Amino acid sequence: MFYKKILRPILFRAAGGDAESVHELTLKLLTLLSRVPVRFAGDPSQARTLFGVRFPNSLGLAAGMDKNGVALPAWAAMGFGFVEVGTVTWRAQPGNPRPRIFRLPEYAALINRMGFNNAGAVALAARLTEIGTPPLPVGISLGKSRAAPIEAAAEDYCASFRTLYDHGSYFAINVSSPNTPGLRTLQDRAQLGELLAALQGVNRRISHARHRSPKPLLVKIAPDLGDAAISELLGVCADHAVSGLIATNTTLSRVGVTDHPRAGESGGLSGRPLAARALQVVRFIRREVGPDLPIIGVGGIFTPDDALRMRDAGADLIQVYTGMIYEGPGIVRKIARALA
């Protein structure tokens, strides 16, 4: 209640109301807090193991919040069971011009067109090396550098994967962001097959050389695909032994927010308006793939009940992002306990 009634209004008005400036300030504070030694003690009853990774609990922070992995200890202290950093690209890039994050508070939603702004794979690898053993599992979301043509996408993703290989508990292959031109075409059968074949080739070679199991690769999909397209994508994922799916990314749809003055902004919509569609996609995937392939459900998770509905739809793990911005960090432990 303190966050929603007092702190959130202050944050939303800070920096002239610019959402990205507030985000950057928050990350700076969390980075400072991450330098304070803290002992992390999770509840063993909340832990579970999926694709060879032990998660202290089932709630994670979605990619996009901590692109460069600067505040991992702070996220652990909040109670997250895992964090997905990135999306990171092989080349450092500034992303799209600002402003590029827009709040729709009446609908508990955000529109963003960040464009994979990040310091690059080499810088992230150096930071994670400096941190050492992280306090919780770290997923790494990989994306295509804007400067890389689509026909060179596989090479671009593989360069990041090789550089970050030792640092990721799992790797999310982001082919579904609406904010990099042409990226979503990588969800097509031929292009996704080529990309996954290249990544799994790197995966096998490195794991064999180091006498380790291959890294889990998960594919993150768009909520705007129809059932037939999702089925085709799932077939490609099965052909290339993908370890799981992340459903879903942000949406280009403006259903439910069309009357908002910001609805015309380009970019991906997240938050409450995405919840129903994200649930539909997770249910569909679970029916298609059966009980064994892990699914990370993300989209419109604001409360423990939202998370439980996502789990009932078929998700094994849950991620939040926009929900924490609107509800505050207090939701983390509440949702984690509910999922236990």
The 10s digit of each residue's pLDDT in 227-241 is: 999 999 999 999 999
DSSP annotation string for 1-18: -HIIIIIHHHHHHGGGG-
Amino acid (one-letter) located at 260:
H
Domain extents in the chain: 2-33+42-339
Distance, CA of 94 to CA of 27 (rounded, Å) = 17
Q: Is 243 helix (H, G, I), strand (E, B) or coil?
A: coil
| Regions of the chain where pLDDT drops below 70 | 1, 15, 33-42
pTM of this structure: 0.95
pLDDT reported for residue 126 = 97
Distance, CA of 176 to CA of 233 (rounded, Å) = 12
Q: Which CATH number fits domain 2-33+42-339: 1.10.10.410, 1.25.40.10, 3.20.20.70, 3.30.70.3040?
A: 3.20.20.70
Asked if residues 280 and 328 have their Cβ atoms less than 8 Å apart, the reply is no
Residue of 58, 160, 176, 177 with catalytic role: 177
177 is catalytic: yes
**Hey, what are 195's tokens?**
């990309």
The 10s digit of each residue's pLDDT in 159-208 is: 999 999 999 999 999 999 988 988 999 999 999 999 999 999 999 999 99
pLDDT reported for residue 153 = 97
pLDDT reported for residue 5 = 73
The 10s digit of each residue's pLDDT in 110-142 is: 999 999 999 999 999 999 999 888 889 999 999
Asked if residues 49 and 55 have their Cβ atoms less than 8 Å apart, the reply is yes
